[in-house]
Amino acid sequence: MNFQLETDHFILRDFCPKDTEHYVKQCQDPKYQRFYNQQDCSEHKSKQLVELFISQAQQTPRQQYHLAITDKLTGDYLGIAGLRLEEEQQASIGCGLVRGKQGKGASEEAMTALLKFGFNKLGVHRAYAETLSENRAAIRLCRRLGMRIEAKLLENRYFKGRWWDTTILAILANEFNSLTKR
């Protein structure tokens, strides 16, 4: 049986082969590529990643939840949400939406469901996100989820002919649960 989380408007589910073309298209979008190096967005790499997501869903114990975000009513592919379990009850999170679905609350709804699952079902103590500091939309999303900025790494990534800063944001389980009980 495939894993899925349901929200008011979306279903987050394991990737399947039919998602490949949608994920490739998402990664090929120039707006999506702004904060990734060219190799990470190639058609070949995108196809490899979907294969990886599918195989990781079969692992026991499961450590990676890379989920396709789909519209609850239409089943349309909207993007990806990921939670990756690490040592000491830590998890990294991230998401990305196809163009046209951004800025409408889908990321926040999907990531809230994923964080609830991580904190309340998997026993995650701390979840964090790393993003390029120029990705203001990602930082705003993390802040809306209750995350705080813990660090800014200066010029720690080099691609597209320049150095980029990285911002790290995080939230603890008790902080998130007190926010979501309101």
What's the pLDDT score for residue 174? Answer: 96
Q: What value does the mean pLDDT take over residues 25-48?
A: 85
Residues 6 or more apart whose CB falls under 8 angstroms from that of 113 comprise 5, 6, 7, 10, 12
pLDDT digits 0-9 by tens, 71-112: 999 999 999 999 999 999 999 999 999 887 776 778 999 999
pTM as predicted: 0.92
Partners of 67 in the β-ladder: 14, 81
Helix or strand or coil: residue 48?
Answer: helix
Q: How many helices (H) and strands (E) does the chain have?
A: 6, 8
Contact 115, 179 (CB under 8 A): no
How many domains does the structure of the chain reveal? 1
The CATH number that applies at residue 10 is 3.40.630.30
What domain range includes position 75? 4-180
Long-range contacts of 71-75 (CB under 8 A, 24+ apart): 71/9, 71/10, 71/11, 72/6, 72/7, 72/8, 72/9, 72/10, 72/11
Instruction: Please give the helix or strand (H or E) that residue 162 lies within, else none.
Output: strand 162-172
Q: What value does the mean pLDDT take over residues 11-37?
A: 90
Q: What value does the mean pLDDT take over residues 32-37?
A: 81
Q: What value does the mean pLDDT take over residues 142-160?
A: 95
- pLDDT reading at 36 higher than 90: no
Rounded to 10 degrees, the C-alpha dihedral 121/122/126/131 comes to -100
Q: What angle do CA 3, 122, 110 make, to 5 degrees?
A: 55
- pLDDT reading at 14 higher than 80: yes
Burial of 118 (0-12, 13-18, 19+ CB in 10 A): buried
Contact 129, 171 (CB under 8 A): no
Residues 6 or more apart whose CB falls under 8 angstroms from that of 58 comprise none
Helix or strand or coil: residue 23?
Answer: helix
